[in-house]
Amino acid sequence: MKTFIVHFLLSITFTSLFFRMVEVPYHALSAALTFLAAFFVLWLCIFFFNRSYFKKIPLVVSFFFYFLKELIVASLKVAYDIITPIHYMKPGVIALPLDANTDAEITILANLISLTPGTLSIDVSEDKKILYVHAIYIIDGDIERLKMEIKNGFEKKLLAITR
């Protein structure tokens, strides 16, 4: 966390210096470029900081694009089902065994599942070992496939970042 704070402050410093020298209007691309520049400077100073930070940043970026892809695919699937006269929904509730064990990991996973159209996190068991999820597309009643998609997708990638 300390490294992220230094990275963030360094990005802000680069941004302010860069825009004062070049006098270019600020936009998202230039913010991303200064963030990358700050990352490179921190990478050069690697012996001062925790090395795992530099492994997690690409994981976070990868996770962001994975979630974006899942969000778009699920949105298109639900939108297609809404505009066609035939409904392909096969709803059901599944009990998803969790590898996530901290409250933060479980909360983030449950929120990611709920943010994706077509799925909704309902509850967590008392012992925090099972997450109950309502899904509207359980294809051919294959609950195990849906469980594996969530476990190998959201949960696996999330745990790689948080641990």
Same domain, 45 and 89: no
- How many domains does the chain contain in total? 2
Same domain, 13 and 72: no
Task: Kindly report, residue by residue over 31-68, the tens digit of the pLDDT.
Answer: 677 777 777 776 666 666 566 666 777 888 899 999 99
Same domain, 150 and 87: yes
Report residue 77's pLDDT band, with 50, 70 and 90 as the boundaries: very high
User: 130-135 and 119-124: which strand pairing?
Assistant: antiparallel
Structural domain range at position 70: 54-162
38 CB contacts (<8 Å, ≥6 apart)?
Answer: 7, 10, 11, 13, 14
Same domain, 74 and 151: yes
Same domain, 85 and 34: no
Report residue 131's pLDDT band, with 50, 70 and 90 as the boundaries: very high
| pTM of structure | 0.72
The pLDDT of residue 141 is: 80
Same domain, 139 and 98: yes
Same domain, 94 and 131: yes
